[in-house]
A and B are shown apart, each in its own frame.
Chain A
């Protein structure tokens, strides 16, 4: 090693630099800055002079909106968590699975609106829309698994991730090719327009529907995973796929079922999202997809309860956080920073509590 004298000094310098607890220093500085900004921002916002201050009703509205969006996020997040639990991979294209269902159901909704069926038989029409959306999402999810992921089951972990990014681009742009780049207005049945009061709080009817449907779907999922034979197999594969296969479980079949379940949930979320925002477009999968992934990580990825909790928490944070923290600093239109806020939450969770809210907080898992 005598010939590498100069190289060794470089290394010594580098390791000298590295022996300082840089990570910890940066984390502490970052953590205290964020804590300070949060407290100061919230304090300033809430003590704004009368007239500029938000009313109490505003905050209630924000929380209700947040819960509604959180329910949708939770449904998508469950898809991420299920796939991650079984395959230990991030299904980057899951946002597109969600988009597919919403987009396909649009054409039915539009036809029903024109024929009057949507308003005359609202419940039946909504049920059909759900089924169509579920079928579309599930088909895309299964094809995705079969074509893009299965051949790479044992590949180094970055390979399927890159494939997933490619698949995501491909699916979104295939829909653009099929149906065109323009956004379509999704009809809202008359029955769901307006709002009703619950305990003195005014809630939009759509949001009530979203909330109820999402809760029902989550309970059904919980029962399926915990009570059914297939659900037991899924948990076994998630625990250890090799041993599960030795126990006579067909792992390929379980993986497909996982994608189907994820697709069903994404399909439900698709209709709910379309009814809430009344618009579909081929790009609509990206941002909810990332937000839902954040929700899954926030709750602790791989855990079903965590994904549901993460969805609701993130939904509320997203709705309440920007006005609460930013208005006080005089930052104009805080809602334009909503997406940045989601990413900030994602980064902070991964940095400070990588195991998520319900996770064990183990660093190794991440």
Chain B
């Protein structure tokens, strides 16, 4: 019970936090399903719901595993709900007594709109009582959900989150459906903006059915697709069904821009640029285990050197001028040169700093990343790269008359490079070089003793990672056609690091998923722009606390981890045991997505 009280109070504070940063008040009109389920409503209900769920986590006390019975569990959930509601209700009463306008002078997001939404016209005391009641229901539901048997729980959970996700993606899915000329008015209402109840029901039913199917026949389906697994090799044999599925997948990817339209293609182009950066950083951080916080260095280097090599001009207030040193190469001639420059730069900056231990290396690279941004902005290099105004007239990488500036066309160019980078990364991972990197990452001294030349392989990782990152930069330049230093901030480094870490360090599918989630979603959800970095920070912390291996863990890495003795992984189990401490962060990470 004490745990429930504590978690409930924390959930209440989390709700107050959500209200104070504006995640409730600014989204009272964002309908997810009908007009009844709004984003603001979800934000209010989620913390007590999660509190109820976490409150009944089985725990070990004095060497005994304590698991609550269903009645006790529901009571604990309700308790957590009461506390969450009481804390948040107290906040509402406080704001009401003190005066919204006075508080708003400091906390800009505690607005009359928020208070109107929370009180719904009732006096504050009544509103607080209603909030407590809602919280109790949510807390009990959270606890009740956890006590359900698996066959019921899984489909129910899947149905709820998939439906909410579709409601959340109301700016994306309808556009795609329109492009496909599919009738969508039954699913997404033009009036509310969100899902209709009919649409929600259908989506929930389909999601639940898929979940049941996966639970019952998942292994059989997977077996049919992948073919009989060879016991010794990792690779699966190619069955006709696999082959057909791969062809279908490829076809979908290839026609995607024409189906989805320019807006989504544009975002997908950015996603792929970041996927390239992620693949490059994955070599440095994921394979070789060197934490690089200044990856924007290579991004900037790639973008600017491509611009210079292909005859871009400098932006000025009156038009454009030639840079101090001008080349006029074709994009496809320039790219290999850019790659060589970046690889060389990787070796040059790597050599003096590689002896540093992990966290120092991180800060030095952070410094390098900042330095290059200061340099391209500075008046000193203005004649070469345009200073704060930047450069323009960058090549569109045309083949004949087919330019790649159009988002739909750029998609293909970026796709080709992503596939190339994926192939290179994949082959490297399984090569002698890749194994040397793994050895380095796991234990540098042992690797050295086993005859792995640590310096050479570290430099190689820096050079390879830098090369791939510079291609990302070059494509970015082609995509937007003009460069300003404002695009090259430390946030790029952190965003790419987030992609690698969220997806799973060292995992290639993880990089792709990571860039879709961290770049694709924010690109499409413009109204959440203000909260993107908040969600980012929360996600980084939450992933490290709850799921340090990432969303899609690297197979070999997780196998290594399993085989190692428990001692090494002790912290992971400590994390699991401490879960109730970490959870207040999750609702933000998921909610603000």
> Which A residues fall within an 8 A CB radius of B?
4, 7, 10-11, 14-15, 17-18, 22-23, 26-27, 30, 89-90, 107, 146-148, 150-163, 165-174, 176-181, 286, 290, 293-294, 297, 326, 331-333, 336-337, 339-340, 342-344, 346-347, 350-351, 354, 363, 366
Check A347 against B379 for contact (C-beta < 8 Å). no
Most chain B CB neighbours (cut-off 10 Å) among A333, A342, A347: A347
Select one of A152, A170, A343 contacting B368, CB under 8 A.
A343
**Residues A27 and B108 in contact, CB atoms below 8 Å apart:** no
Whether A155 contacts B582 by the Cβ 8 Å rule is no
B152 CB–A CB distance under 8 Å: no
> In whole angstroms, how far apart are the Cα atoms of A344 and B375 in the complex?
12
A107: which B residues are within 8 A, CB to CB? 106
Shortest Cβ distance from A363 into chain B, in angstroms?
7
A-B CB contact pairs (8 Å), 30 listed = A7-B432, A11-B451, A23-B352, A146-B581, A147-B581, A147-B584, A151-B578, A156-B571, A158-B289, A159-B548, A163-B540, A166-B537, A167-B537, A169-B494, A169-B534, A170-B541, A177-B21, A177-B534, A181-B530, A290-B370, A297-B360, A332-B380, A337-B378, A339-B371, A340-B374, A342-B367, A344-B371, A347-B353, A354-B360, A363-B355
B574–chain A nearest beta-carbon distance, Å:
7
Flag B512-538 by CB within 8 Å of A: 1 or 0 each: 000000000000000000110110111
Name, among B109, B348, B351, the residue most crowded by chain A CB atoms within 10 Å (CB to CB): B351
List the B side residues contacting A23 at CB < 8 Å. 351-352, 355, 455
Between A89, A158, A294, the greatest number of chain B beta carbons within 10 A of the residue's beta carbon is seen for A158
Instruction: Please report the C-alpha to C-alpha distance between residue A89 and residue B358 in the assembled complex, in whole angstroms.
Output: 11
B contacts, CB < 8 Å to A: 17, 20-23, 106-109, 289, 291, 293, 348, 351-353, 355-360, 362-364, 366-368, 370-371, 374-375, 377-380, 432-433, 451, 453, 455-457, 460, 490, 494, 497, 501, 530-531, 533-534, 536-541, 544-545, 548, 570-571, 574-575, 578, 581-582, 584-585
The 7 closest A-B pairs by CB, nearest first: A166-B540, A177-B21, A170-B537, A169-B537, A343-B367, A173-B534, A340-B374
Please tell me if the beta carbons of B108 and A179 are within 8 angstroms of each other in the complex.
yes
A341 to B388, CA, bound (A): 19
Are the C-beta atoms of B581 and A170 separated by less than 8 Å? Answer: no
In the bound complex, do residue A4 and residue B432 qualify as a contact, i.e. CB atoms below 8 Å apart?
A: yes
B433 nearest CB across to chain A (Å): 8
Residues of A within 8 A of B351 (CB): 22-23, 26
Chain B residues closer than 8 Å to A290, beta-carbon distance:
363, 366-367, 370
Decide: A173 and B108 in contact? CB cutoff 8 A. no
Partner of A165, one of B453, B457, B497: B497
Contact between chains at A178 and B21 (CB < 8 Å): yes
Contact B21 A147 (CB under 8 A): no
Q: Tell me the minimal C-beta distance from A307 to chain B in angstroms.
A: 15
A332-B367 in contact given A152-B544, A170-B534, A178-B107 (Cβ < 8 Å): no
A332/B379 in contact, CB under 8 A: yes
Give the residues in chain B near A11, CB-CB below 8 Å. 432, 451, 453
User: Shortest beta-carbon distance, B533 to chain A, in Å?
Assistant: 5
Query: In the bound complex, do residue B545 and residue A151 qualify as a contact, i.e. CB atoms below 8 Å apart?
Result: yes
**A173's contact among B109, B451, B537, B582, by CB below 8 Å, is which?**
B537
The residues of A that contact B355 with a CB separation of less than 8 Å are 23, 363, 366
Smallest CB–CB gap between B280 and chain A, Å? Answer: 18
Q: How far is the CB of B453 from chain A (nearest CB, A)?
A: 4
Whether B538 pairs with A170 at a CB distance below 8 angstroms is: yes
- In the complex with contacts A26-B351, A170-B541, A174-B21, A179-B534 CB distance below 8 A: no
**Contact between B455 and A22 (Cβ–Cβ < 8 Å)?**
yes
Q: Which of B106, B533, B537 contacts A179 (CB 8 A)?
A: B106
Nearest Cβ distance between residue A342 and chain B, in whole angstroms?
8
Q: How far is the CA of A17 from the CA of B457 in the complex (A)?
A: 11
Alpha-carbon separation in the docked complex, A326 to B381 (Å): 13
Q: How far, in angstroms, from A219 to B456 measured CA to CA in the complex?
A: 47
Number of A-B residue pairs at CB separation under 8 A: 201
Q: Report how far A30 CA is from B548 CA in the complex, Å.
A: 39
Chain A residue at smallest Cβ distance from B542 = A166
Overall SS of chain B's interface: helix
In the complex the two chains form, what is the Cα distance from A345 to B106 in whole Å?
39
Please name all residues of chain A whose beta carbon is closer than 8 Å to the beta carbon of B451 when the two chains form the complex: 11, 15
* Min CB–CB distance B62 → chain A (angstroms): 20
Report Cα–Cα, A293/B362, bound state, in Å.
Answer: 12
Distance A342 CA – B356 CA, assembled complex (angstroms)? 18
With the chains together, A7 CA to B430 CA distance in Å?
A: 13
Which residues of A are found within 8 Å of B106, using beta-carbon distances?
107, 179
Nearest CB on A from B13, distance (A): 11
Q: Are B534 and A154 in contact (CB under 8 A)?
A: no
Across the interface, A176 reaches (CB within 8 A) one of B353, B356, B368, B530, namely B530
Q: How far is the CB of A358 from chain B (nearest CB, A)?
A: 17
Cβ contacts under 8 Å, B22 to chain A: 177
| Cα separation A176 to B108 with both chains bound (whole Å) | 10
Contact status B501-A162, CB under 8 Å: yes
CB proximity of B12 to chain A, nearest CB, Å: 16
User: Could you tell me if A351 and B352 are in contact, using CB atoms closer than 8 angstroms?
Assistant: yes
B351: nearest chain-A partner, CB-CB: A26
The answer to whether A90 and B455 have CB atoms under 8 Å apart is no
Known: A151-B574, A176-B530, A351-B353. A166 touches B374 (CB 8 A): no
In Å, the complex CA distance between A351 and B584 comes to 41
- Give Cα A158 to B578, complex, Å: 20
Tell whether, in the assembled complex, residue A151 and residue B455 are in contact, meaning their CB atoms are under 8 Å apart: no
List chain A residues, Cβ under 8 A from B375.
337, 340
Known interface pairs A161-B291, A336-B378; A350-B360 also in contact (CB < 8 Å): yes
Seed contacts A166-B541, A350-B353; 5 additional CB < 8 Å A-B pairs: A10-B432, A11-B453, A158-B289, A165-B497, A174-B17
Q: Is the CB of B455 within 8 A of A177?
A: no
Quick one: given A152-B575, A173-B534, are A90 and B363 in contact (CB under 8 Å)? yes
Once the chains are docked, how many angstroms separate the CA of A271 from the CA of B329?
Answer: 54
Cross-chain contact of B455 among A18, A332, A347 (Cβ < 8 A): A18
Contact A169 B352 (CB under 8 A): no
Taken together as a complex, chains A and B put the C-alpha atoms of A30 and B357 apart, in Å, by 21
Closest to A343 in B: B367
Name A330's closest neighbour in chain B (CB-CB).
B380
Q: Is the CB of B544 within 8 A of A166?
A: yes
Contact A167 B574, beta carbon cutoff 8 Å? no
A347-B575 in contact given A167-B537, A179-B106, A336-B377 (Cβ < 8 Å): no
- In whole Å, how far is B421's beta carbon from the nearest beta carbon of chain A? 21
Asked, given contacts A17-B456, A366-B357, whether A30 binds B379 with beta carbons under 8 Å apart, the answer is no
Asked if B364 and A350 make an inter-chain contact with CB atoms under 8 angstroms apart, the answer reads yes
The answer to whether A15 and B456 have CB atoms under 8 Å apart is yes
Expressed in whole angstroms, the Cα–Cα distance for A333 and B381 within the complex equals: 12
Q: Give Cα distance in the complex from A347 to B364, angstroms.
A: 6
**Which partner residue on chain A sits nearest B548 by CB separation?**
A159
C-alpha spacing A336/B356, complex, angstroms: 29
Q: In the complex, are the beta carbons of B358 and A157 less than 8 A apart?
A: yes
Alpha-carbon gap, A155 to B289, bound state (A) = 15
> In the assembled complex, which residues on chain A have CB atoms less than 8 Å from the CB atom of B541?
147-148, 163, 166-167, 170
Provide the residues of chain A in CB contact with B21, threshold 8 Å. Answer: 174, 177-178
Query: Are A162 and B540 interface neighbours, CB within 8 A?
Result: yes
